[in-house]
Structure 1
Amino acid sequence: MGILNGNPKDQPLHYGEVFDIWSFSMKAKGSISVYRAYQYHAGDKDLKKILGDLINQAELESEECDQILIHNGIASSPTLPARPEAKLEDIPVGARLTDPEIAALVSADTAASMVICSQIMGKSIREDIGALFGKYHMTKAAIGLKILEMNKEKGWLVPPPLHVKRPELVEA
């Protein structure tokens, strides 16, 4: 007889899984609010589309994580109030985030989120939890690739120092 056999959804969550799922849901809810603010600041249509994709993904993540928590008798993280809509023209120039700034912020946030997904996958003992965060990781990787391509295309990418000097190959 094995330990924790059967349907993973019927198995208890360990404390680390509870904390990670609750925290991830809270982060997703915060991301929805912040990404909506970024949408109001963004002028570029491609950036707005990616922000829409990020909002949709964060809404899905918070909903799925909350369902797991509630199913296990744990209160979900609080939902933030809806952000009032703003028009780009109404935001003072000195207070406005630029499109390259927003793109850099969502790039870094997406990369950090992938790291968190990997950590949660590594700590999970329930297969369904590991698989769920594997799904989130793959989705974030795909969105991250879109962000990278957009940053390159628009000239917004700020690369680290590039190694351009290469050793000459010697044929034997």
Structure 2
Amino acid sequence: MGILSGNPKDEPLHYGEVFTVWSNLMVDYGMIAGFQTFYNHTGDVDLKKFIEDAIQVAREEIKILEKILKSNGVGLPLAPPERPVARVEDIPPGARFNDPEISAALSADIAAGLVACSQAMGISLREDIALMYGQFHLAKAQLGAKLLRMNKEKGWLVPPPLHLKYSKE
């Protein structure tokens, strides 16, 4: 029997998997802090709910990632402190992110997360790690679809130039 056969959880992680899981955990820690800040700045009730959902998805990822690193003897990255809840009215208007800006930043974060999950699936030799990133990818895709719908409904979507007619000239 080879070193990479049998129960995947008994197989060693390779350096790429360790770095990917560790980096993902560090990014999730930072995302939560950033999302909490966005939460304080938004006035839109639907966007607040979306941010709460996004934070919950990140917290679920963190539990899984921390467990993998700990069980493989890898130290965890430092996490920033939780952000306190603030009233949007207490943030001066010129210093406040507006809702379309927040939504655009969230959209970019989700898109980057989808790419990172795809890359992690591609480098994984352990099936459980690849499947875990497939589940993370699905959760991010669902968040992305929900946010895209919200962006369209609220008029926050800024599309690139649309190609409506094709000239044969």
Q: Same fold (TM over 0.5)?
A: yes
Distance 1:7 1:78 in 2: 31
* TM-score, length of structure 2 as denominator length: 0.96
Asked if structure 2 preserves the Cα contact closer than 8 Å seen for 1:66 and 1:77, the reply is no
Q: Which runs of 5+ in 2 are unaligned?
A: none
Distance 2:54 2:9 in 1: 27
* TM-score, length of structure 1 as denominator length: 0.94
Q: How far did 1:166 drift?
A: 4.4
In the alignment, does 2:28 pair up with 1:28? yes
Distance 1:167 1:62 in 2: 51
| Residue deviations 1:101-155 (CA, integer Å, cap 9, x gap) | 0000000110010000000000000000000000000110010000000000000
**Number of residue pairs matched by the alignment:** 168
Distance 2:78 2:7 in 1: 29
Q: Which amino acid aligns with 1:9?
A: K
In the alignment, does 2:146 pair up with 1:146? yes
Q: 3-state SS of the aligned residue for 1:6?
A: coil
Distance 2:82 2:154 in 1: 31
Asked if structure 2 preserves the Cα contact closer than 8 Å seen for 1:110 and 1:144, the reply is yes
Q: CA RMSD in A?
A: 1.2
Distance 1:22 1:3 in 2: 23
Sequence identity percentage = 54
Q: 3-state SS of the aligned residue for 2:76?
A: coil
In the alignment, does 2:108 pair up with 1:108? yes
Q: How far did 1:72 drift?
A: 0.5
Q: Which runs of 5+ in 1 are unaligned?
A: none
Distance 2:3 2:18 in 1: 19
Q: Which amino acid aligns with 1:104?
A: A
Q: 3-state SS of the aligned residue for 1:40?
A: helix
**Which residue does the alignment assign to 2:81?**
81
Asked if structure 2 preserves the Cα contact closer than 8 Å seen for 1:118 and 1:134, the reply is yes
Asked if structure 2 preserves the Cα contact closer than 8 Å seen for 1:44 and 1:99, the reply is yes
**Which residue does the alignment assign to 2:12?**
12
Asked if structure 1 preserves the Cα contact closer than 8 Å seen for 2:3 and 2:11, the reply is no
Distance 2:167 2:135 in 1: 40
**Which residue does the alignment assign to 1:156?**
156
Distance 2:14 2:46 in 1: 41
Q: Which amino acid aligns with 2:76?
A: S
Q: Which amino acid aligns with 1:164?
A: L
Q: 3-state SS of the aligned residue for 1:146?
A: helix
Distance 1:67 1:78 in 2: 15
Q: 3-state SS of the aligned residue for 1:68?
A: helix
